Amino acid sequence: MSKVLTAVIPLPHAPVELRELPEPELEQNSALFDVTLSEVCGTDVHLQAGRLAGVPYPLIPGHVSVGHLSKIRGEMRDIDGHAFKEGDAVTFLDVHATCHACWHCLVAKSSTRCPARKVYGITYGMSDGLCGGWAQKMYLKPGTRCIRLTDDSFQRFMAGGCALPTALHAVERAGIRLGDTVLVLGGGPVGLSCVILALMRGALRVLCVGAPENRLSAARAAGAAATLNIETHDDNARLQWVLDQTNKRGADVTIEATGAPAAVVQAMRFTRDAGGVLIVGQYTDHGDVGFNPHLDLNRKHLDVRGCWGSDFSHFYRGAQIMLNPARSDAWSQLKLERYGLAQANEALAAVASGRAIKALIDPHA
Amino acid sequence: MSKVLTAVIPLPHAPVELRELPEPELEQNSALFDVTLSEVCGTDVHLQAGRLAGVPYPLIPGHVSVGHLSKIRGEMRDIDGHAFKEGDAVTFLDVHATCHACWHCLVAKSSTRCPARKVYGITYGMSDGLCGGWAQKMYLKPGTRCIRLTDDSFQRFMAGGCALPTALHAVERAGIRLGDTVLVLGGGPVGLSCVILALMRGALRVLCVGAPENRLSAARAAGAAATLNIETHDDNARLQWVLDQTNKRGADVTIEATGAPAAVVQAMRFTRDAGGVLIVGQYTDHGDVGFNPHLDLNRKHLDVRGCWGSDFSHFYRGAQIMLNPARSDAWSQLKLERYGLAQANEALAAVASGRAIKALIDPHA
Amino acid sequence: MSKVLTAVIPLPHAPVELRELPEPELEQNSALFDVTLSEVCGTDVHLQAGRLAGVPYPLIPGHVSVGHLSKIRGEMRDIDGHAFKEGDAVTFLDVHATCHACWHCLVAKSSTRCPARKVYGITYGMSDGLCGGWAQKMYLKPGTRCIRLTDDSFQRFMAGGCALPTALHAVERAGIRLGDTVLVLGGGPVGLSCVILALMRGALRVLCVGAPENRLSAARAAGAAATLNIETHDDNARLQWVLDQTNKRGADVTIEATGAPAAVVQAMRFTRDAGGVLIVGQYTDHGDVGFNPHLDLNRKHLDVRGCWGSDFSHFYRGAQIMLNPARSDAWSQLKLERYGLAQANEALAAVASGRAIKALIDPHA
Amino acid sequence: MSKVLTAVIPLPHAPVELRELPEPELEQNSALFDVTLSEVCGTDVHLQAGRLAGVPYPLIPGHVSVGHLSKIRGEMRDIDGHAFKEGDAVTFLDVHATCHACWHCLVAKSSTRCPARKVYGITYGMSDGLCGGWAQKMYLKPGTRCIRLTDDSFQRFMAGGCALPTALHAVERAGIRLGDTVLVLGGGPVGLSCVILALMRGALRVLCVGAPENRLSAARAAGAAATLNIETHDDNARLQWVLDQTNKRGADVTIEATGAPAAVVQAMRFTRDAGGVLIVGQYTDHGDVGFNPHLDLNRKHLDVRGCWGSDFSHFYRGAQIMLNPARSDAWSQLKLERYGLAQANEALAAVASGRAIKALIDPHA
């Protein structure tokens, strides 16, 4: 039986290690997936730092990936009912096993809160099989939802990566209207995709506040009308800048994509009365923050929405956008850094520091 | 010229005083309004305590009132275009002078944040004329929007009082669905109207958490399925009780109507994942409160909405409900305490302590 | 092996016949369901008249039913994850086999248009097994979604019957606001549940236009403020009556639940400018109707929504309402007619004529 | 007193005539507006053909115009509260005198159905003064809402013209989601602005069905992914083409902007199940059309919305888009035809035939 090279986080805080694992036997209606590119994102940094609950170490990271179905046992179909065949270029929804049988799935219709939900590369560990994308091959369990791509869309799709469905969900839920001024806090992958998608959603102007400078420069290249560096501007200076950019009213809609608790309160303060705030960056617990419910929320008549995860619809629509070169051109401008499996620790460091706009693992490099 | 007896807050912290004022000359298209009943609400307690900004003391409190148009100069019409005549039984929208010409009125369509907005009994002071309901007569300026009532609906309408449009706005904005479990925090007038209106909006069960016991008993009489007294249950006990009442999930929708900053965070914690939180009780600044943006907001995928004030539509629809005895029966059950103008300080004390469910001024008592 | 008595529609236009069928072997995770009551609704009349496409005759009608799980093989769980046990009182979602894998289920999130969708008693025929409720027992296939009831809620639940989730879906989708005047066209089971649910949703007044008189009288008993008999009032008289009831403006929201194409156009004409129209009664093809797109739709700035079927959330929330005696009292007032299996043809005739408000099959009578 | 040259429709069906009128005295808080460009749109063709009710002939057409405030008496302010001064470059909302005091304005919040509403160039006739844009100067009555432009934005703004706020209202109300396929029926000015705005709103692909070919070619230049000429394709061929373009499902959202009643029914048929249809082209009465409520509406679970007129918010946001050269580039590509006042009849003929994409009156030519 052939061997598969993988990169593994053995324990919280331990460096990534290379390991060779046997190629699995396929269950009925499952597939082997030959990884072309997999992502290194902020979640992977959190995983190595042990900041996420419920992670079954050791695990192979890499939740969003592109590649080819190299072996199919039984049948796998796309959402139009057409069977996949070996060799097809695909990505797949990293979220697996939402049950479609529980109260969250059926009554609340909020499958991102389904208790049965599992995520490749995050809550599926090595004991579940080849379930992460930092590997030459992955095992796609029965029920995994694949989406057709084309080889020439791979790089564009991965420039969005897992940030794309997250940002698409956030932007859709943010309630942007035609002609709005949208403020994005954070210039990481989610923030950058929010900049692009907010413009695609009809914002007239998108502002971006973040750091470091290379991210802000990417935000401007992606269409942001103006950016502000938080390293050189304190809270008051930021508020003043936002007011100056918005006719003294604040942004119509602010999207927080930073991870810093203080940014949630700033998002409320930087938004106009009766505007909208969307919180998508608080993916891990960084502690408490204080705010004033009268001044920051009630009197402002704000609409503040948390946004957790994404479902198939966000992933699918993101993929359709990326299959269209004209509509996804802004992502093509983002600078990608490629790393081999043996360079996974460097990739994590580059992402943690914000040096890399977007880092990818090429397991065949 | 005849004299009008009024009750006046001369300065923050000073007791209410009786004063006689001259009956005004009427401008074209204005009216004199003979007050039958006016309200004593939490806002009036705040006014005496100097907790609201922009109040032009001395002022005559009393923003929501019922009575009769005793004199009309020129013409005043209802929203169907029919002219009012002297003797008509009416109430009027306490909010006056939203400009319908500014960005907030015309583009954001959030007139409750219009900078020109003035409120009878709150931001119109004595220098603006007979502009509060704690008086035998009021002066209704041109452009004041009157709504027809009937004499027999006066008491029911005032049982809702200013809490009615506030609660109606809150309940409409809260996103309740048929069959939901709704949790109301606070058992004051706004909380009680929220209990009634949440049931009217389709909630299957409404829970109420508050104090003192007389308010909770009023909540149960108004339809609450279960209540909890905060005087005898700490935060953890409250959370546990809510989970026990909601199949361990939390309420589908929570409406905060308390005034206490800590209740805003509790509202988030007492609500199920992907549920809704409506904040309507933070009418004045009681300082900061800490919360955890990851655990309390983002991961829960919550929708948290501030709700400020109300506009004519809320006031009008509230009045139509009160004109219908069958649909407004729950308000008829609320206990009303009547006070003469000379007893205004007692009325304020009864409201401040929560002893009175609803206190009214009868200026002719 | 024991025998099960059933009532069968052998072919379109043929009378219902009694047939004895063998009790089935149970697959893993399926159950045998002992029918206490099953419904006779307009759909069953359509089935016998051959007016629905895709029906695999012969079939056992009866899509919504209540009873007890008499035998379980393997495991069946409720949406809270608790296993059902033999003897439990339940109903079940008549819609089965929506795939949760196709474009309609996953991207459009409109599972009522899923091509794989099957309905007990309608698109499952006799060749699929004991799949209709006009039988002493039914076979619940793996994946059937059961909902816990109590024996004392059976009759109330069946007073709503299949009309309940349909009407709940319609009323939720209709966009009713607190204080609205809602007009319901049609006084059959769906119309009556719409009357009740529109009031529960916050309508101030509900009007009902239909026939015959016993239905209108049921509508008034259920809370309708006023009703009009179409047998004695033509189109113009109806329009005039609606205008008279609505301050000359038309209803805020009109719900069509009649089956007659002309009622769709009347619904538009009876609704106020910028109001809402919900079409839920056009379950079968009764041909074309003419309307004026300028006068009836565009200039009126109407919102006209078709509403097809219902999903688990509607069924579940309907059941929760019926488990609450206070909230479901209005349905308790509806008159039920019970028929044995041998009287199924009489039951169909009573429903077709509108004589019966609600007819039920009691297979053990 | 100086004279103002105007173009006047004296009576239905009569050709436009030149007339000289005296320059008016200005009321307090009104202005004289020096017209740079005014529009010739489909409404003007209807006006000459006598197809609109309530038009007080003779009238000066031209409802959307750009130019300069040449004289101000008293004060006119923008929505930020800043006073206009003579010489300012502006446009103004053609809708005047919505009352903000009636049921439609205050309760339904649908000011486009306010009975007091007047429109410059349509329902203000010559007897109301210089109230149309086909004139060297216009009289802006008190309460007219002006919006600041810049001279260099004039041409771009007029390329949108009155179609811009109409289309913006339609696209906003149409419920487009990120990644949707949107079908626009009609390639006139409203259709073309809908093509552009649907893309700006997040549609992935926009299809356009219309005629003649020059309009379709403009639609493609504006971003339409594919177009179909109705002159060479009958109903069936159009349906087949739409299905071929949409994976056999139909468009997610269809916007009708044609004026032909049959297009309303086609819009329903060309849209996928559970999709949205927006009707904005039925501005005048062209008679009835037949449809099948079961097949075309109810079973499809469609959402069909009429969209009438526009309010200040649509106009304002449209102007902000046009002030931004990058965001409004697509309109810059549209071919404009300029006519002097003496050529107004030629302009009308060019618009009526569809020969001109967009015709403008330059009253100083």
User: How many CB contacts within 8 angstroms connect chain C with chain D?
Assistant: 138
Tell which B residues from 227 to 266 touch A, by Cβ distance under 8 Å. 247, 249, 261, 264
Cβ contacts of A54 on chain B, cutoff 8 Å: none
Chains in touch with C (≥3 Cβ pairs < 8 A):
A, B, D
Q: What angle do CA A346, A352, A355 make, to 5 degrees?
A: 75
Q: Give chain B's mean pLDDT.
A: 96
Statement: residue A287 has pLDDT above 80? yes
Burial of D147 (0-12, 13-18, 19+ CB in 10 A): buried
**Which two tokens mark C131?**
């799949």
For residue B70, the one-letter residue type is S
- What is the overall mean pLDDT for chain A? 96
Would you state the pLDDT for residue C1?
59
- Nearest-Å Rg of the Cα atoms of chain A is 20
Helix and strand numbers (H, E) in chain C are 11, 18
- pLDDT, tens digit (0-9, with 9 covering 90-100), for D104-136: 999 999 988 899 999 999 999 999 999 999 999
Under 8 Å between Cβ of B284 and A294? yes
The three-state secondary structure class of B347 is helix
B2 falls in which pLDDT band (50, 70, 90)?
confident
D344 to chain B nearest CA, in Å?
34
| C301 contacts D272? CB cut-off 8 A | no
Which pLDDT does position B122 carry in this prediction? 96
- The 8-class DSSP code of residue D27 comes to P
**C contacts of D305 (beta carbons < 8 Å):** 302-304
Mean pLDDT of D40-56: 93
pLDDT tens readout for residues C41-63: 999 999 999 998 889 999 999 99
Calpha distance D27→B296 (Å, rounded): 58
Q: Spell out which residues of chain A touch residue C96, defining contact as CB-CB under 8 Å.
A: none
> Closest chain D residue to A81 measured between Cα atoms?
D247
Q: Which residues of A touch B283 (CB under 8 A)?
A: 294, 298
Residue B168 has pLDDT above 70, yes or no: yes
Is there a contact between B178 and C321 if contact means CB atoms under 8 Å apart? Answer: yes
Chains in contact with D via at least 3 Cβ–Cβ pairs below 8 Å: A, B, C
Indicate the residue of C112, C273, C292 with minimum beta-carbon distance to D288: C292
Q: How far apart are CA D323 and CA D318, in angstroms?
A: 9
Its ipTM equals 0.96
pLDDT > 90? residue B56: yes
Q: Is C299 on the interface with B (CB under 8 A)?
A: no
Q: What is the secondary structure of A31-59 as a DSSP string?
A: EEEEEEEEEE-HHHHHHHTT-STT--SSB
The residue type of A271 is: T
Cβ pair D178:A320 closer than 8 A:
no
Nearest chain B residue to A289, by CA: B290
Task: Give the pLDDT confidence score for residue B146 in this predicted structure.
Answer: 98
Query: How far is C80 from chain A, CA to nearest CA, in Å?
Result: 6
* Per-residue pLDDT at D318 exceeds 80: yes
Closest-approach residue (CA) in chain A for C317:
A107
State the amino acid at position D260 in one-letter form.
Answer: A
Q: Are D313 and B110 in contact (CB under 8 A)?
A: no
Q: How confident is the model at residue A53 (pLDDT cuts 50, 70, 90)?
A: confident
- Amino acid letter, residue C2: S
Q: Which of A96, A89, A64, A71 is CA-nearest to residue A147?
A: A89
Chain B residues whose CB is inside 8 A of the A306 CB are: 297-304
Residue B330 has pLDDT above 80, yes or no: yes
- In the prediction, which pLDDT does B112 show? 87
Give yes or no for A99 touching C (CB within 8 A): no
pLDDT value of position A183: 98
- Alpha-carbon separation of residue B188 from B66, B192, B335, D216 (angstroms): 21, 6, 12, 62
Which chain B residue shows the shortest CA-CA distance from C316? B179
Nearest beta carbon to residue B112 from set A275, A297, A301: A301
Q: What is the mean pLDDT of residues D198-225?
A: 97
Does C321 contact B at CB distance below 8 Å?
yes
- Best residue of C178, C194, C199, C252 to probe chain B, by most B CBs closer than 10 Å: C178
Burial class (CB in 10 A: 0-12, 13-18, 19+), B2: exposed
Q: Does any CB of chain A come closer than 8 Å to the CB of residue D298?
A: no
**Mind telling me how many Å the CA of A102 is from chain C's nearest CA?**
4
Estimate the crossing angle of helix A312-322 against helix A163-173, to 10 degrees: 110
The pTM is what?
0.97
D111, closest residue in chain C (CA to CA): C274
Neighbouring chains of B at 3+ CB pairs under 8 Å are A, C, D
C-beta of residue D107 within 8 angstroms of C-beta of residue D165? no
Name residues whose C-beta falls within 8 Å of residue D353's C-beta, 6 or more positions apart in sequence: none
Looking at chain B, the whole-number percentage of residues with pLDDT higher than 70 is: 100
A168 and chain D: CB distance < 8 Å anywhere? Answer: yes
Q: What is the pLDDT of residue B1?
A: 59
What span, in angstroms and rounded, lies between the C-alpha atoms of C93 and C119?
9
Name the stretches of chain C with pLDDT < 70. Answer: 1
| pLDDT tens per residue across span B76-119 | 999 999 999 999 999 999 999 899 999 999 999 998 889 999 99
Please report residues of B whose CB lies closer than 8 A to that of C318. 179
Q: Would you call D336 an interface residue with chain C, using a CB distance cutoff of 8 Å?
A: no
Do the Cβ atoms of A313 and C77 come within 8 Å? Answer: no
Inform me whether the C-beta atom of residue B101 falls under 8 Å from chain D C-beta atoms. yes
C176 to chain B, any CB pair closer than 8 A? The answer is no
pLDDT at D97 over 90: no
CB-closest option in A178, A205, A317 to D179 = A317
**Hey, are the CB atoms on C301 and D113 less than 8 Å from each other?**
yes
Average pLDDT over residues A55-75: 97
Mean pLDDT for A316-326 is: 96
Neighbours of chain A (3+ CB pairs under 8 A): B, C, D
Residues A97-129 have pLDDT tens digits of 899 999 999 999 998 889 999 999 999 999 999
CB C1 within 8 A of CB C101: no
Q: Beta partners for D181?
A: D205
The answer to whether the Cβ–Cβ distance between C106 and A80 falls below 8 Å is no
Q: Is the pLDDT of residue D1 over 80?
A: no
Chain A CB within 8 Å of residue D176 CB: no
Q: How far is CA D4 from CA B314, C80, C284, D25, D72, in A?
A: 48, 77, 63, 13, 17
Are residues A79 and C100, on separate chains, in Cβ contact within 8 Å? no
**Residues in B touching D83 (Cβ below 8 Å):** none
- Using CB atoms, pick whichever of C178, C204, C317 lies closest to residue B178: C317
Interface contact D204-A321, CB threshold 8 A: yes
On whether any CB of chain B is under 8 Å from the CB of A115, the answer is no
CA distances B200 to A73, B180, B183, B257, B316, Å, are 55, 12, 14, 18, 17
The interface residues of chain C toward chain B in range 62-81, judged by CB-CB distance below 8 A, are: 80
Q: Where does residue A77 fall: left (phi above 0), alpha (psi -120 to 50 degrees), or beta otherwise?
A: beta
- Mutual angle of helices D213-221 and D189-200, in 10-degree steps: 20
- Tell me whether B324 touches chain C (CB under 8 Å): yes
Tens digit of each residue's pLDDT (9 = 90 or more) over D280-293: 999 999 999 999 99
What does the pLDDT read at residue A1?
59
